């Protein structure tokens, strides 16, 4: 939604509400919307997750394929992201839809494709030659603000769900052959201890708001993306959008985001563990 589509009165209402720590939907400034998460719902993937929130629906699928390592990091595997917004029908995108998705993809890649986040060494099969490449694709089915944060939560859930098959390397007369095992017990899980979620902090009036709706995003005078992991450490910062911020504002935003991220990370981990234990048959994709 571009800022021009929101009336001045509505903007004033939102800003005043935020000032009193009571937003249009009754949340406080540091509250996230409640979300539902399902994992392991796409059978052709190595890991998948779907996040549903009021007005937002994101599906993430992870496929692990054997490929060549990147030139600059020949001893580790890597991640490749793609965000598909084609069905995402909104007026938020002012410019070209391609630019918008590229920006999302870039931010995700920068934050997640790092040794600080995942043990990329464990994805190596033959150092310098064959590694696992995780293709992480997000499809945005519906969106109501705060898209990047939602995708990041779904990505974390999908990584938790990802199983990488075991591979054995056979040396046959100097020719290396890879054999992928189809034994489910031989599968490897990824550790998500250090995987962060992204919290976008918006400055509205004199307060900081997380998980902004589309309307609130229009009233935002500055935005900072902050990636926080389970140990409450900051994994990434990125100023987003136009405009500039005061240094003290940045420090307050970091603190706000950390406060918001603690319950978010805990809740996510609990939900994922509960979901894994229950292991019941998923009924229909768009059912319930």
> Could you list the residues that contact another protein (CB under 8 A)?
71-72, 102-103, 106, 109-111, 114, 116, 194, 224, 229, 232-239, 241-247, 250-251, 254-255, 258
Token pair of 154 as six digits: 């779904």
Nearer residue to another protein within complex by CB, 45 or 105:
105
Nearer residue to another protein within complex by CB, 39 or 236:
236
Closest CA to 49 of 131, 145, 152: 152
Question: Minimum Å distance from CB 68 to another protein?
Answer: 15
Nearer residue to another protein within complex by CB, 71 or 185:
71
Beta-carbon contacts of 253 under 8 Å, excluding residues fewer than 6 positions away, are 201, 203, 208, 224, 226, 245
Residue for token pair 């995987």: 195
Question: Minimum Å distance from CB 116 to another protein?
Answer: 4
Half-sphere exposure of 251 (CA within 13 A, CB side): 2
Question: Minimum Å distance from CB 71 to another protein?
Answer: 6
Nearer residue to another protein within complex by CB, 128 or 243:
243
Element holding 131 (H helix, E strand): strand 130-142
Question: Minimum Å distance from CB 171 to another protein?
Answer: 27
- d(C-alpha 78, C-alpha 62), whole Å: 12
DSSP 70: B
Beta-carbon contacts of 75 under 8 Å, excluding residues fewer than 6 positions away, are 69, 121, 124, 127, 128
Nearer residue to another protein within complex by CB, 138 or 144:
138
Nearer residue to another protein within complex by CB, 242 or 288:
242
Question: Minimum Å distance from CB 270 to another protein?
Answer: 23
Closest CA to 236 of 214, 222, 257: 257
Using DSSP bridges, classify how beta strands 78-84 and 130-142 pair: parallel, antiparallel or unpaired: parallel
Nearer residue to another protein within complex by CB, 59 or 227:
227
- d(C-alpha 176, C-alpha 173), whole Å: 8
Question: Minimum Å distance from CB 249 to another protein?
Answer: 8
Question: Minimum Å distance from CB 128 to another protein?
Answer: 15
Using DSSP bridges, classify how beta strands 167-172 and 175-180 pair: parallel, antiparallel or unpaired: antiparallel
């Amino acid at each position: 939604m571009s800022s021009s589509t929101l009336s001045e009165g509505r903007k004033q209402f939102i800003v005043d509400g935020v000032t009193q720590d009571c937003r249009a939907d009754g949340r406080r400034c540091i509250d996230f919307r409640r979300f539902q998460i399902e994992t392991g719902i796409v059978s052709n993937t190595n890991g998948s997750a779907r996040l549903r929130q009021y007005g937002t629906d994101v599906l993430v699928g992870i496929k692990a394929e054997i490929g060549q390592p990147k030139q600059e990091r020949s001893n580790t595997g890597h991640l490749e992201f793609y965000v598909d917004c084609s069905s995402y029908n909104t007026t938020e995108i002012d410019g070209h839809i391609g630019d918008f998705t590229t920006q999302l993809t870039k931010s995700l890649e920068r934050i997640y494709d790092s040794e600080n986040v995942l043990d990329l060494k464990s994805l190596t099969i033959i150092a310098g030659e064959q590694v696992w490449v995780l293709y992480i694709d997000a499809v945005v089915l519906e969106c109501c603000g705060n898209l990047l944060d939602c995708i990041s939560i779904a990505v974390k859930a999908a990584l938790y769900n990802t199983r990488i098959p075991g591979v054995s390397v056979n040396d046959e007369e100097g020719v290396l052959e890879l054999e992928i095992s189809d034994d489910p017990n031989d599968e490897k899980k990824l550790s998500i201890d250090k995987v962060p979620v992204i919290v976008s902090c918006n400055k509205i009036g004199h307060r900081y708001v997380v998980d902004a709706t589309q309307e609130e995003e229009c009233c935002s005078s500055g935005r900072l993306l902050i990636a926080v992991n389970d140990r409450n450490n900051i994994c990434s910062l990125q100023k987003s959008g136009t405009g500039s911020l005061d240094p003290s504002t940045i420090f307050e935003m970091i603190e706000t985001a950390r406060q918001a991220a603690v319950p978010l990370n805990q809740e996510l981990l609990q939900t994922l563990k509960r979901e894994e234990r229950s292991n019941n048959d998923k009924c229909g994709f768009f059912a319930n």
